[in-house]
Structure 1
Amino acid sequence: MSSPLGRPLLIANPSAGAGRDAALPRLTAALTARGLEHDVAVTGRRLDATDLARRAVEEEGRRFVVAVGGDGTVQEVVNGLVDAETGRVRGDDPVLGVVAGGTGCDFARTFGLDRAPEVVADHLLGEQTLPIDLGRVRLTGLDGAPRSVLFANVAEAGYGGVVVALAAKLPRRLGTARYAAAVMGAVARFRHVDTTVTVDQGTRTEPLCNVVVANGQFFGGGMHVAPRALPYDERFNVQAWGASPIDVVRGLPQLRRGTHLSRDDVREWQSSRVAVDAARPLLVEADGELLGHTPASFDLLHRVLRLKL
């Protein structure tokens, strides 16, 4: 049986969801049982998924590419399907599929796709898709050169960037505990800094510990950071956090419930563009990947890509 969107290519991160619960073998078994013809490409290095996705739609003429892994895998695939510099979609109207398979699968969670591979396999069979926005950040990369990167879910500048930087140095075998350890470790490594945030409503400068630029609703393994974010409405949900890092840690139960927005030290806007600068460079992460540092500017590519539901 063929998909109405064409034969899907599954691009899988072999280190995501490793062990007996690994997503890829369960997904391929489920698709085979349902008679859906498919191909598999396994990544072997960083940014491999970007190259595989780009070649799939530009050179092989594919229209259906499925990211199997965590938010980092989704981000890499998205950057292969859409050119970050020009904002143009590569190939012939490609469709993105997402199968959760890592320690952080928050983009999938926004759409209710954070389910077992056997369940999501059924979602890959039909024709239903949803046009979604993608975020784009322009900033200074870790190598000092300017770069543009697309992200599907949530970006942060400040404390959140330090958390991701620390988590990257910890063994992946720790799973979700790696992120929890980094959250605590970053407390001692970050202090408030005077930060200027520019949104559609104006510009504000004040001491902050973190700036959140959200396209999706969840981050950090299920924390409901942006309950008012809609990844198809041409606006980011933007938050400026004035709390200290230790207060952020104490407020993690609020973050999980999405009730932190009522705090006096959280400011929130809906904005199509965001610029962040600070008295000292802030580390910037998006979708759990460390990208560079401020100054950084964010804009949206409105409904630029179709997501398979």
Structure 2
Amino acid sequence: MRALLVVNPAATTTSARTRDVLIHALASEMKLEAVTTEYRGHARDLGRRAADSDDIDLVVALGGDGTVNEVVNGLLHRGPDVDRLPKLAVVPGGSTNVFARALGLPNDAVEATGAILDALENRTERTVGLGLAAGTPGTEDESVPERWFTFCAGLGFDAGVVGRVEQKREGGKRSTHALYVRQVVRQFLNEAHRRHGQITLEVPGQEPVTDLALSIVCNTAPWTYLGNRPVYASPKASFDTALDVLGLKRLSTPAVALYGTQLLTSSPEKGPRGKHAVSRHDLTDFTLHSKVPLPFQMDGDHLGLRTSVTFTGVRRALRVIV
């Protein structure tokens, strides 16, 4: 087997020494080429190269969710083709590692590498569904290119939090869960549309859902982790189905207290619920429109402001070693 290892040297939970150990462990079991990323988008370019190659069987992403997202977008740059494309393996190295943990991999890089080597020996894998988002035709965002996501996307409040965290990280702050909690509070205090939502969910064949103040799109459950605690925005979301949506119509102080508590105590059986909560399960195609430009994120990467995003849930998009 020939494999390409994409290494993010800025991965927050692995040291250079640990990465060297992991590289040697993988190289002992396969013909391995290890490449360290040097710029934003480099992992995507490496994934694209692997997809266009005739002799790469596996791409291993060593990094956080952002690295995984780039690799996936490179692999799928010509669309999903599970029989042709290299398989993907993920060694978690970020602060949260939602995709890897949702696959059932250990959150420790060394343990995850061992699990991947065991899976390769036993030839175990799964084919997962992914989300695809693009600018909506006929709107000012129609020129926004398509982009794949592995576990979540969001228009509005949660994307604003992601943007705040990225600003802090660019200023030298470490990506910690405490940092995220602080930015949630600050985003809430400065949210201009928390009482009167600006977002409309449109699903073909259904009545539009209007006045949403928050919209979270999930490709799997949990939605994220707070430390070791999984948080379920859409408990029924799965890599085996299309996409789920959670919308909240109000972000007043009482509503935030209620739904924040529900998120913190959520489980695979129970997520946010109430008169201001809207849930949709297993959607293949839908659009989120906003009356005003709002922050947009995919897999924890802030992508700027959007007014309209069209989503597609693609089942059986990529083979993953687990």
State the TM-score, normalizing by the size of structure 2: 0.83
> Is the Cα–Cα contact under 8 Å of residues 152 and 223 in structure 2 kept in the other structure?
yes
SS in 2 for 1:244: coil
Give the paired residue count: 300
* TM-aligned CA deviation for residue 132 of structure 1: 0.8
SS in 2 for 1:17: coil
* TM-aligned CA deviation for residue 136 of structure 1: 0.5
* TM-aligned CA deviation for residue 264 of structure 1: 2.8
> Cα–Cα, structure 1 residues 158 and 92, in superposed 2: closer, same or farther, change >3 Å?
same
> Is the Cα–Cα contact under 8 Å of residues 200 and 274 in structure 1 kept in the other structure?
yes
> Is the Cα–Cα contact under 8 Å of residues 82 and 90 in structure 1 kept in the other structure?
no
Q: Does 1:266 align with 2:288?
A: no
> Cα–Cα, structure 1 residues 257 and 13, in superposed 2: closer, same or farther, change >3 Å?
farther
> Cα–Cα, structure 1 residues 183 and 114, in superposed 2: closer, same or farther, change >3 Å?
farther
Match of 1:78 in 2: 72
> Cα–Cα, structure 1 residues 266 and 274, in superposed 2: closer, same or farther, change >3 Å?
same
Q: Does 1:67 align with 2:68?
A: no
> Cα–Cα, structure 1 residues 61 and 245, in superposed 2: closer, same or farther, change >3 Å?
farther
> Is the Cα–Cα contact under 8 Å of residues 251 and 260 in structure 1 kept in the other structure?
no
Deviations 1:85-130 (A, max 9, x none): x534499331011111101211112121143222222332222111
Within 2, Cα distance between the matches of 1:64 and 1:256? 37
SS in 1 for 2:240: coil
Within 2, Cα distance between the matches of 1:130 and 1:278? 36
* TM-aligned CA deviation for residue 36 of structure 1: 4.4
Matches within 5 A, 1:8-157: 8-18=3-13, 20=15, 24-31=19-26, 35-59=29-53, 61-83=55-77, 87-89=79-81, 92-125=84-117, 126=120, 127-139=123-135, 145-157=143-155
Amino acid across the alignment from 1:186: Q
- Aligned with 2:246 (options 220, 229, 239): 239
* TM-aligned CA deviation for residue 204 of structure 1: 2.5
Match of 2:183 in 1: 182
Q: Which runs of 5+ in 1 are unaligned?
A: 1-5
Match of 1:295 in 2: 308
SS in 1 for 2:145: strand
- Aligned with 2:166 (options 160, 165, 168): 168
* TM-aligned CA deviation for residue 168 of structure 1: 0.9
Amino acid across the alignment from 1:236: L
- Aligned with 1:276 (options 281, 285, 288): 288
Within 1, Cα distance between the matches of 2:6 and 2:129? 21
Amino acid across the alignment from 1:148: E
> Cα–Cα, structure 1 residues 242 and 26, in superposed 2: closer, same or farther, change >3 Å?
farther
Within 2, Cα distance between the matches of 1:23 and 1:253? 37
Within 1, Cα distance between the matches of 2:295 and 2:252? 15
> Cα–Cα, structure 1 residues 133 and 166, in superposed 2: closer, same or farther, change >3 Å?
same
**Greater displacement, 252-261 / 124-133:** 252-261
SS in 2 for 1:212: strand
Match of 1:197 in 2: 201
Stretches (4+) displaced over 6 A: none
Deviations 1:173-215 (A, max 9, x none): 4222332222122113322323210125613243222111110
SS in 1 for 2:231: coil
SS in 2 for 1:119: helix
Match of 1:308 in 2: 321
> Cα–Cα, structure 1 residues 73 and 253, in superposed 2: closer, same or farther, change >3 Å?
farther
> Cα–Cα, structure 1 residues 200 and 119, in superposed 2: closer, same or farther, change >3 Å?
farther
* TM-aligned CA deviation for residue 237 of structure 1: 1.1
